[in-house]
Amino acid sequence: MITTDNSRRTIAVGVAYLRETFSGMETSNYNVMMTGAVLGIIPIVILFLFLQKYIMTGFSKAAMK
């Protein structure tokens, strides 16, 4: 995804931007980078937990063919 607006970045690009922001310092701020990565993963995990039953049913039906 290509955007010129900073407010419309994807989460992966935002986390990479955090690394570039702190690269001028002697030490990188890994706490901020890991927080951004975890916040990006949380919606995917929640979606999987709610749809896990249907996902596993689809896998088992596909395996039986």
Domain ranges of the chain: 6-64
pLDDT at 13 over 90: no
Assess contact for 15 and 33: CB atoms under 8 A.
Answer: yes
Question: How many other CB atoms are there within 10 angstroms of residue 1's CB atom?
Answer: 7
| pLDDT digits 0-9 by tens, 19-39 | 666 556 555 677 878 888 898
Q: What is the pTM of this model?
A: 0.60
* pLDDT in the model for residue 49: 93
User: Confidence band (pLDDT; 50, 70, 90) for 50?
Assistant: very high
- 48: Cβ contacts below 8 Å, ≥ 6 apart: 55
